[in-house]
Amino acid sequence: MKSLKDLNLNGVNFYSPVPESLINLSSLVSLSLRGCSLVGEFPNDIFLLPNIQVIDVSNNDDLIVVLPQFQSGSSLRLLDSSFTKLSGEVPESIGYLKSLNVLNLRQCGFTGKLPDTMGQLKSLNVLDLNSCSLSGTVPSRVGNLSQLTYLDIANNNFKGHLPVVLRNLSKLTYLDLSHNKFIGQLPLSFGKDLAELTFLDLGFNLFRGPFPSSFGSMSQLLHLHLSDNRFDGMFPILLANLTQLLSLDLSGNQFSGSIPPHIFENFNSINKLDLSNNMFGGAIPLSMFTMPSLVYLNLNDNQFTGPLKIENIQ
């Protein structure tokens, strides 16, 4: 077995610890134990096997994972311990994983702050730290991760202003910063810098102020969720450029004024529109009722006036 390179036991319900003997598989390149009902502590030395490139132990709710002190020269490309009991903090030595493409630690039990050395993972494409109880500010060196296409740090306790260095992540297609404690206004160039985004969720933070006009540059955007912040001003006319949208959620903000009557005329794909809990007024625009794919519409708790012309609903 010492020549074994690929071990895939995904979905086999062992209900037992990971065998310590796996650390003797010196030729092992890929280890996949996803959803195996594993228990106990994952053998730490497996992370340090000389040829290991893929470790996936995700979806083992009772498996305890402690990240080791990584060593320089590691060839690890994928590390997924999401939905496990990962304890401790992310070690400074994570920066040695120069070849890492995917790091998924979603919904693990570790705490603390992100080390600055995260910025050394310049090959990283996917970073998922959703629901990890992380705190503090996002390290500025995250801006060095120029190959990132997917960044999810939602449901943590990050605070402070949105890191300006996010403008360097021009390849991002998915960005979720929701359910944190970010404050302040969005950078004026936010939309122009991140024009490749298809998914953006900034909901449940403390962002304020008007929308940057650069949001109109995000023509690839499919999902825009900005609920429960303190955005204000008139309805952002620039959203008329985002005709590919499937869902738009501006609920729980401080937007006011009337909505332009023809703003939604070219929204042929949108299926969810939530403008509830704002201060919009005036007549409900007829174009809102002519969107052919719409299945969910919420205008609750606004100040709209005038008759609702049912005959115009298509």
pLDDT digits (tens, 9 = 90+) for 96-136: 999 999 999 999 878 889 999 999 999 999 999 999 989 99
Q: What is the 3-state secondary structure (H, E, C) of 114-176?
A: CCHHHHHCCCCCEEECCCCCEEECCCHHHHHCCCCCEEECCCCEEEEECCHHHHHCCCCCEEE
Residue 174 lies in a domain: yes
Mean of pLDDT values over 294-310 = 89
The reported pLDDT for the residue numbered 313 is 57
What pLDDT sits at residue 109? Answer: 77
* pLDDT score for 53: 99
**Mean pLDDT, rounded, for 30-35:** 98
Q: Apex CA 103: angle with CA 101 and CA 106, to 5°? A: 155
- CA 233 centroid distance within chain: 27
Query: Residue 158's closest CA among 171, 176, 185?
Result: 176
> What's residue 288's pLDDT?
92
Q: What is the pLDDT of residue 312?
A: 53
Cα distances (Å, whole numbers) of residue 117 to 138, 175, 204, 253: 12, 21, 28, 36
| 56 within a domain of the structure (yes/no) | yes
Residue 231 lies in a domain: yes
Give the pLDDT of residue 198. Answer: 99
**Is residue 20, in this structure, part of any structural domain at all?**
yes
Give me 125's structure tokens.
Answer: 């494409």
pTM: 0.95
Per the structure block, which two tokens stand in for 213? Answer: 């006009």
Structure tokens, 37: 């009902």
- Domain for residue 234, yes or no? yes
Helix extents (H) in the chain? 190-193
pLDDT at 74: 95
Q: How many domains does the chain have?
A: 1
Residue 188's domain is classified under what CATH number? 3.80.10.10
Cα(302)–Cα(281) distance, integer angstroms: 7
d(C-alpha 207, C-alpha 180), whole Å: 10
Is the confidence at residue 195, as pLDDT, over 70? yes
pLDDT digits (tens, 9 = 90+) for 53-104: 999 999 999 999 999 999 999 999 999 999 999 888 899 999 999 999 999 9
What value does the mean pLDDT take over residues 193-214? 96
Cβ atoms within 10 A of the Cβ of 6, count? 11
Domain that holds residue 283: 6-312
Give a yes or no: residue 1 inside a domain. Answer: no
CB 214 within 8 Å of CB 190? yes
**Residues ≥6 apart with Cβ < 8 Å to 225:** 178, 200, 201, 202, 203, 247, 249
Determine the pLDDT at residue 311.
57
Mean pLDDT of 273-300: 95
Q: Which range is least confidently modeled, 53-67, 268-282, 298-312?
A: 298-312
Tell me what the pLDDT averaged over the chain comes to.
94
Q: Is the pLDDT of residue 5 over 60?
A: yes
Confidence check: pLDDT of 47 > 90: yes
Q: How confident is the model at residue 175, as a pLDDT?
A: 98
What's the pLDDT at 120? 96
* Residue pair 114/94 in contact by the 8 Å Cβ criterion: no
